[in-house]
Amino acid sequence: MIKALLKKQLNELFSMLFYDRKRNRRVVGGKAVLYIVLYILLFVMVIGYSSLMAVGLGFNYLVVTSEFAWAYYGMGAIAAMTIAIIGSVFVTYNTVYKARDNEFLLSLPITPSKLLFTKLLSVWLSGFMWESLVLLPFLVVSYILAPGLITPLGIIFQILLWLGLSFVILFLTAILGWLIAKIATHMGRYKTLIVVVLFLAGFVGYMVLIAQLENGIGTLFEDPEAVAQGFGNFIPALAFGKACLGDALYGSIFFLICAALLALVYWILSVTFTNIIKSGNKGKAIRINKREEKQSSAMRALIRREFKHYLSNPMYILNSSLGYIFLPIIGVLAVFNRANIQNVIKVLAASSSEMPPEAITQLISALLPVLVFFALMLLCGMSVISAPSVSLEGKKISILQSLPISMKQVLWSKIAFHCIIAMPFTLISTILVSIGLSLDVPNAIIVTVLAAVIVFFFGVFGLACNVKWPMLNWKNENIALKQSMPILFCMLVGYISPIALTVLYYFISAFIPPFLYLIVIGAVLGLLSWLLLRWINTKGAEKFQYLS
């Protein structure tokens, strides 16, 4: 029985190469070959990066400062654990906690302990595979660069701890998989908000990590002794490194702890496995509000419908509103760095030898509103909420077409929804940036008014593009959000327009002041919005009526 269950789990583990879960069919031919090639390339990349990292650290910690050789192995163990946990945590979630066949298998004459053993074994194999891709290059490089440090006892413990480290990885992935399962089970109505917050937190964390990575790598290779001394405070890494060099005490203790963690996670899951499966699909009861709904106008009902669709899909928020989410952050940063911005302007003015500092300061102050306007156009062009709104109707567009309302109202509701979401973020950011840049009152007013014009223009422009090039035959909403022509075209216009307007103003700046240039651009955008609205109210509404 265990053999059959293990075979089933291994088939599921590698089914991603040969089975399309979205379309519920096998992947054959060239597509299967492509998947296999891509995974082989992924493995080669992991091995390649691990080898390069091992060579760089090896010269510092095995050759130059061999007294800290243990730090080399400790860093390799941490790198292996990190990659293995990232690569295996969702395998744990899908295999142990949220597998579709859990309840079915428990209904068969199979003991839960056997079922749990096979599931954990497949998870362990996944973690062990990723761990080996990173740790083995470290071991091989150490044999090449520092063969004199290798002892028979060290080789024995390297093999034992290679296995023991996989037990720790299984323990940690089981905990993280359980946390993910708990969060997924109890998210309920806040699922979209949680996904968006987690994405933004991950994005900010990634940017902070990238900002600190250069200094960290430089310190790692330039001052290995200081890094090793600080690294020695982390006892597990110290014990792993000492054991790989042949320290029997550290090696024995480390392996016993690994074995104890394996026994602990198996015992906890064996006790709670059945309850975990039974509670997997439970959620909080939804209370029904029995009060009578107030009648509302058709426009309000349509806008409320857009809100519900928007809030139900986190990818809709992230793909169409990311620029608006970051706009207030930029405004707050501008306010808090107001003094630094003024200092930069003074330094630029003082560094010029062709013009007096006062003249340079006045010129920069005059150009700042233009730069703010171009930045707003760039960010708003990247976040056009109305661009996929027609495509997202999909096969349900016939419901809208059958309602006793005009199609012009439906299209106007999509423009209004775009403005309701985008306008507050944009205006708040514009006011904060105006304060941070110390713009005078006339310039602050014109920039704020133009910010509203930009939002309205892209709302109308995005909808017109989507009516012109709808994508209604998608199998997944994310396709309409990421690959449709209107979104790509709006982003292209959002990128090119600020660049083109900047180049244009470079050639005509001697003939027209910045303030007047902004008024002219605002008038042009207003005229274009009016022309697009005329098309939407007539030909666009007629085309929308017959989309299918």
From first to last of its 548 residues, the chain has per-residue pLDDT tens of 556 555 655 555 555 555 555 444 555 556 667 667 777 887 888 888 888 888 888 877 777 666 778 888 888 888 888 888 877 766 666 666 665 555 555 555 566 666 777 777 878 888 888 889 889 998 998 888 888 888 889 899 999 999 999 899 888 888 877 776 666 666 556 666 666 666 666 666 655 655 555 455 555 555 556 555 666 667 888 888 888 888 888 889 989 999 999 888 888 877 766 665 555 544 444 444 444 444 557 888 888 888 888 888 777 887 788 778 778 888 888 888 888 877 777 776 666 656 676 767 777 777 888 888 888 888 888 888 888 888 888 888 888 888 888 888 899 999 999 999 999 999 999 999 888 888 888 888 999 999 999 999 999 999 999 888 888 887 777 777 777 788 888 888 888 888 888 888 888 877 888 888 889 999 999 999 999 999 999 998 888 888 87
Residue 392 belongs to a domain: yes
The answer to whether 412 touches 303, Cβ cutoff 8 Å, is no
* 200 in the same domain as 77: yes
Tokens standing for residue 404 = 């006793």
CB burial of 21-41 (b: ≥16 within 10 Å; e: otherwise) equals eeeeeebeeeeeeeeeeeeee
Residues 172 and 152: their CA atoms lie apart, in Å, by 30
* 324 in the same domain as 226: no
Q: What is the pLDDT of residue 347?
A: 72
Cα–Cα distances (Å) from 277 to 21, 99, 525, in that order, read 22, 9, 57
* 241 in the same domain as 316: no
* 325 in the same domain as 245: no
* 331 in the same domain as 270: no
* 228 in the same domain as 315: no
Tokens standing for residue 221 = 């290779």
Residue 517 belongs to a domain: yes
Residue 296 belongs to a domain: no
Q: What is the DSSP letter of 337?
A: T
* 97 in the same domain as 229: yes
Domain edge (last residue) among 263, 278, 293: 278
The answer to whether 118 touches 2, Cβ cutoff 8 Å, is yes
Q: What is the pLDDT of residue 231?
A: 60
- Among 69, 158, 83, 71, CA closest to 127: 83
- 3-state SS string over 27-86? CCCHHHHHHHHHHHHHHHHHHHHHHHHHHHHHHHHHHHCHHHHHHHHHHHHHHHHHHHHH
Residue 321 belongs to a domain: yes
* 403 in the same domain as 271: no
* 209 in the same domain as 259: yes
For the chain, the residue count is 548
**Boundaries of domain holding 506:** 305-337+367-545
Residues 328 and 82: their CA atoms lie apart, in Å, by 34
Residue 295 belongs to a domain: no
- Among 81, 246, 87, CA closest to 160: 246
Counted domains in the chain: 2
* 162 in the same domain as 311: no
What type of residue sits at position 402? S
The answer to whether 165 touches 131, Cβ cutoff 8 Å, is yes
Residue 496 belongs to a domain: yes
Residue 140 belongs to a domain: yes
Residue 175 belongs to a domain: yes
